[in-house]
Structure 1
């Protein structure tokens, strides 16, 4: 399961393509139906709704939710919301995209991928990297997307969706091919010229490729 937080003033609709892409890879996605997702509360409410539906006979989600494998992701304020939600024991891994100031990075208890845009003037890359630097207690990766501003123009949106999906495929689905993108000496993301900067903390470097 993946729970999603929207940017400030934005509903889930602008993220529809990205969320459907996640669903096409086997994830049940719950997007917070709010334009203020920074607290993470609505995101966690989505997860708990799906868990309840999993147990309810007659639900389309009956028997289809694995509550032991939950990821949180979000963009901008929703990225801060993902960090806030990531402190909850329900959440196993977190992907903040260009996150706002919400949530406490030291409170995260699972691996995290911090995505920044090289040309982002709203949430500058240096700020996202600063938030990543507080995640030394969990495996964490920082990736700056070349040519991306705060709204993922052109192909940068596709590349962000691909990396987001790969992260969850490894940590939630155990996909060994996805692991190679982030970990090991031959880390594919580290070699991909579409990303202008990639950093992995000590715990991430210890994850085998």
Structure 2
């Protein structure tokens, strides 16, 4: 089983790492060209009521912040907070920029660990990402669950800090954690924090026997029993390398409301599409329902005629959800 775990870990780290192991994937030159093409795509602004932006903050230099561009447009509305785990546990806080801007446009401060290393505002690319060594092992994850939590600590501190543009604008009861792939494992770690009220796990799941081959990511199935909030799993169908682990997680969760949604979009989901594509809208609806009680957003998941129930591309399974 070790080989299959390593294959999953390499997929978490990206197609460049897979190519190093001889697995199917684009050649390095093609990867570089594709990366440049992605970087040239302008940032999304989101489809929510508040056009969003991303920024760096000198007080939190190793994170990227996404928020509504015009805070005054919020009126009396309080911002929620979403802390994010990057795909590959990479130090690129802009790797899911379209998706995170979509969430921010619904009235959230979203914080991702790392710097802006892709897309607008990034420095020139200098080489490939994380690769395995000669023995096939990956280097330690470049970010940790503690880095994800640090984003939440910062946001709540800014809510109280005199002179902060976010002072008094955040509702500490509206806090969620989410993450993609390796970052989804970080999200499950951070989900134990009592300040968290909702969880989204994208294209991820805990390794079946707990022997995670990704250095620096120490998780096991026992984490699932400690979830205390509703949780949404979003998977890319059977072609998603995380499908076995994510579906197994969902089978084991029976004490909190849980939903599993999937479509045949693969491990990368729709993160590269403008505004995060369909996954961006599904995620925003989950947050709006769970954190704000939005009845319209709830209809995406609730009832025999739910929005995802009627979507020919997507499938949904539910537990403790009407």
CA separation in 2, counterparts of 1:182 and 1:36? 34
Partner of 2:302: 183
Q: How far has the Cα of 1:9 moved from its partner?
A: 5.0
Change (3 A) 1:166 1:136: same
Partner of 1:47: 152
Q: How far has the Cα of 1:17 moved from its partner?
A: 1.0
Q: Residue 21 in 1 paired to residue 140 in 2?
A: no
CA separation in 1, counterparts of 2:199 and 2:273? 23
Q: 1:1-209 counterparts in 2 under 5 A?
A: 1-8=81-88, 10=90, 11-33=92-114, 36-37=142-143, 39-101=144-206, 102=219, 104-123=223-242, 125-145=243-263, 147-152=264-269, 157-195=276-314, 197-201=315-319, 203-205=320-322
Structure 1 residues without counterparts, runs of 5 or longer: none
Greater helix share, structure number: 1
* TM-score (ref. length: structure 1): 0.88
Query: Over the residues paired in the alignment, what is the CA RMSD in angstroms?
Result: 2.0
Change (3 A) 1:36 1:187: farther
Q: How far has the Cα of 1:161 moved from its partner?
A: 0.8
Structure 2 residues without counterparts, runs of 5 or longer: 1-80, 116-140, 207-218
Which stretch shows the higher mean deviation, 87-96 or 179-188?
A: 179-188
Post-superposition CA distance 1:142-193 (Å, at most 9, x none): 0112x31111257695011110111001111221100011012322212211
CA separation in 2, counterparts of 1:36 and 1:119? 28
List structure 1 runs of 4+ shifted beyond 6 angstroms: none
Which stretch shows the higher mean deviation, 86-95 or 40-49?
A: 40-49
Which of the two has higher C-alpha Rg? 2
3-state DSSP of counterpart to 1:13: coil
